[in-house]
Each structure stands twice: as C-alpha cells, then as structure tokens.
A and B are shown apart, each in its own frame.
Chain A
C-alpha cells in the first residue's frame, strides 16, 4: 500500500513537470521566433560647413553661412578678398564684399544664402596687400617714437576696406616742409594704395586756431596754415592729387617721359602690325580699339555686343510718335 502511494506521488510529480514544460514551450511558440538584431535606420546627416563642430540638430543660419564665406576668404591670401561690410554682423540682411579680379565670384555666389542681399565691389588690392602696407608704414618704417621727429610724423594707418586704400594720418603740427617730404616719400613708395589725411576743413582749422589747448608748435608755424588748407573740404590727399601737384614741378623730366612714351607707342604699333600680319585681320571695336581676330576678351565681346545693338528705323520712330500723339493729343518734335 505504501509502495503504491509512492508510485502515485512520482506519477503526479512527472505529470506536473511535463505540464510545466508543455506550458513553457507553448508560450514560447505563441511569441514566434526571436527576431535577429537589425540596425536602427539613421537619418542622412545634415551637411555641415567646414570649421563647425558637428551637432545632430545643427542648421547654419544665413548669417553663419555669410560669416563662413567671409572667414574662408579672409584666411586665404590668394582669394582676391579685399573687404567686407554688413548692416548687421550677426544677422545680415545686406552685405558688401570687396573683391579683386582674382576672386572666384561664382564660387562665392554658389554658397551665398539667397536671403542676404550681396553687393560686390571691384578692388585693386587684396586685404592682405593693404594690411602689409599698413603694418610697414605704421610699425616698421615711420612710427618710431622718440627716435627722430621726422619719422614719427605718421600717427596712424587704417585700412578702408570698402574704398580699398590705407588711410595714413600724419601729424599736422609739424612744418609744411617736413610734411611734404614724408608725403612724397609715402606716395613714391606706395602709390595709389594709400591716401593721406593731411588737410583740414575750414571749420576744423578755425576750431584749432581758436583753441587754447593747441601747443605752441602748431600756431608758431605759419606755414602750416597754408598746408592745412591744401584740401579745404577735409578730404584725403590722393595719389592723383600728389601726381598732379608734382607734375608742375617736373617740367624738366617731362621730355624724358615723352620720349619713353613715344618709344613704347612705337613698340606697341610694331607688335600690332606683326599680329595683324599673322592673323590676317583685326576686329574694329565700338570705341575704335582693335582686336586681333580670334582673341576676343570679355570686354571686347561686350563692346562688340553693344555696338551690334540696333536702332529703331525712321519709319518705326514715326509710328511711335504717332502713337504718342494719339494717346496724348500732342505732337512731339
């Protein structure tokens, strides 16, 4: 009897174990096969301009795009960059880029955001060229305080980016003779990439003369007065001003200049003759210049296109004026 009871217990245990196993398997089957691990889809990354730290949510604003373009130009001395101005540095609506002929305008425009108005100004000198001149004038050549009075006559040099020159401020308290010497030296050395602040407006001059704070040197030197009014409107002294003034003093050297010019003219004519012979014919442009056939520049093409534009015929003109008469009841002459 006891044995039978034991057998029953074993049997119940076995059934219970089987039932548990069956239930477990059933649940597993109902869940289906375990999926293999698949990669999560990833979004295409937003293109991030060079020089910016990647960030998942990064979207450059127009202002940032503009500053990046400027930064790139500024960093590359060969880019033809000469200056930048914007109505608002951080959020510009309008900006001006000053560029030399070497600048890749197409590449700039390609990256430029459409919602920022861009004006491009043609320049002769790059920013780096002007900066080198500025440094040389201010730091190396003239500004040596305490060494020589003639050498520290230059009291400032700044770049005017938009108008593409270095503004050189000279000390107007020194004599006319010294000022003229330094001005001549500056223009002979740097040409038209500098302009000199060497004159005063009448108001400034009056103010200066009335002021008691002015040191003795200024008023003691009567020659200064003449020099201050060199350009009474207060505008800067340009290379052209300098050359035209110098011209009157250089009558003697004019003969030599003319001879060189004549020589150059003859050489150019000879070259034109040779090219004409080689190429057969030349194109006559609207302004009378000649272009050797087969070598048209953009400017020559534009001149030709301008010349090739037609005029309304006399008959057409009459019809238009008749229309005017009809519409207004008047007869134009």
Chain B
C-alpha cells in the first residue's frame, strides 16, 4: 500500500533536516520512480541517474511545503529527467544496453512472464506506456496523471484503456 498522502507530505517537509524522513521517502518512492524511468530509458544506470537527479532537484528546492501531491511531484520530476536523458542519448546505444541486460536474467517462470510484460509495455506508444506505468507502478489516480502529463482526464482514461487493450492482446499471443 502506498504511504498516506499526508505522511508523504510530512516526509517531504522534514527531509532536509531529518535523515529518517528522507530515508522513508526514498523507501516509499524509489521503486515506482525507478520503474517509471526504466520503462522510458530501458537502461538501469540511466534510470538510476534519473532517480538521483529527481531527488537532488527536490533537495535543492527552497520550499517543499507548497508541493500539494508529493507522489505525483516526484513521479513527474523523474519522468522529466528520464525524457531529458533520452533526448541526449542515441537510440542505438539504448538498444545495446537492453540486449546486455536481458542476457543477465535468470530463466525462471516468473522472469519469463515479467520479461513478456516488460517487452509488451515497451511496445506501447510512449504516452500510453507512461500513463500505464504511472497508474500501475506509480499508483497515481487518472486525475493525478492528467495533472502530471498535462492532459485532460478523458484523454488519460482513453489512452489507459487503449494500453490495456494492446497489452491484453500482446500477452495473449497477438500483435498490438
């Protein structure tokens, strides 16, 4: 279960002066942030860079009490960082990294399914992929995603449904 909104807000307020608050915030948010970045960048090191940059940006903010939704703010920041890194790097470079990483994986049952879903998500259109990841892994509501991605609620919902449909098709043996 994600941390309560007000708890997250408390950690955000206290983190500059309180090490435990930062550690709690990290424990709660690092996984969804990393997943969002990884789905965009397909590269472990770059995704970690994006997460780090997002936290640094947060720490450099003069005020954090004006952040209404800490979860949405952090996921939006890490998404922006990942997109920035993506623009800097060439497509070929990224593909090579993915290939290397995939070889390292254990060929277990669970891995096989996780690989299949990761690959399927990777085949979605970028907007659909981000909406799906922010909702499923980031645990943001459609309204929060609409704010993060600067889209209307109806557009977010439509894209999400489209992503779901494509994933169902791909996972059940078809093409998107």
Contact = CB atoms under 8 A, between A and B. Distances in A.
B34 A309 contact: yes
Given A312-B30, A313-B44, A332-B19, A320 B157 contact: no
A267 interface: no
Contacts of B65: none
Contacts of B173: 294
Contact of A328 (B30, B59, B118, B143): B59
B153 A118 contact: yes
Contact of B59 (A106, A298, A327): A327
B117 A304 contact: yes
Contacts of B148: none
B77 interface: no
Contacts of A324: 19, 22, 55, 59
The majority secondary structure among interface residues of chain B is helix
Contact of B118 (A105, A308, A319, A323): A308
Contacts of A320: 26, 30, 48, 51-52, 55
A93 to B, nearest CB: 13
A323 to B, nearest CB: 5
A307 B109 CA distance: 13
Interface string B136-176: 11000001000000001110011001001001100111000
A127 B133 CA distance: 34
B23 A332 contact: yes
A323 B55 contact: yes
Interface residues of B, number: 49
Interface in B1-43: 16-17, 19-20, 22-23, 26, 30-32, 34-35, 38
A333 B113 contact: no
B30 A311 contact: yes
A333 B137 contact: no
A118 B141 CA distance: 13
A118 B56 CA distance: 35
A114 B154 contact: yes
A294 B136 contact: no
Interface string A67-92: 00000000000000000000000000
Nearest to A327: B59
Given A109-B154, A323-B56, A333-B19, A309 B31 contact: yes
A87 to B, nearest CB: 16
Contact of A301 (B38, B45, B164): B164
A105 B162 CA distance: 12
B75 interface: no
B157 A296 contact: no
Given A284-B110, A328-B59, A112 B34 contact: no
Interface string A295-318: 111100110111111111101110
A177 interface: no
A301 B23 contact: no
Contact of B113 (A295, A304, A311): A304
B68 interface: no
Size class of the A contact interface (CB-based, 8 Å):
35 or more
Contact of A331 (B19, B30, B143): B19
A68 B42 CA distance: 45
Contact of B48 (A119, A296, A316, A327): A316
Contacts of A114: 152, 154
Kindly name the residue among A297, A319, A324, A328 whose own CB sees the greatest number of chain B CB atoms within 10 A: A324
Interface in A100-133: 105-106, 109-110, 112, 114, 117-119
Kindly name the residue among A305, A313, A319 whose own CB sees the greatest number of chain B CB atoms within 10 A: A305
Interface string A213-242: 000000000000000000000000000000
B91 interface: no
Rank and list the top 9 A-B pairs by shortest CB-CB distance, nearest first.
A309-B35, A316-B48, A308-B114, A109-B154, A332-B19, A327-B59, A296-B171, A304-B117, A309-B137
Interface of B: 16-17, 19-20, 22-23, 26, 30-32, 34-35, 38, 44-45, 47-48, 51-52, 55-56, 59-60, 109-110, 113-118, 121, 132-133, 136-137, 143, 152-154, 157-158, 161, 164, 167-168, 171-173
26 contacts: A109-B153, A118-B153, A118-B154, A281-B109, A284-B110, A301-B171, A305-B133, A306-B137, A307-B114, A308-B115, A308-B117, A309-B133, A309-B137, A310-B35, A311-B30, A316-B52, A319-B48, A320-B48, A323-B56, A327-B60, A328-B59, A331-B19, A332-B20, A332-B23, A332-B26, A333-B19
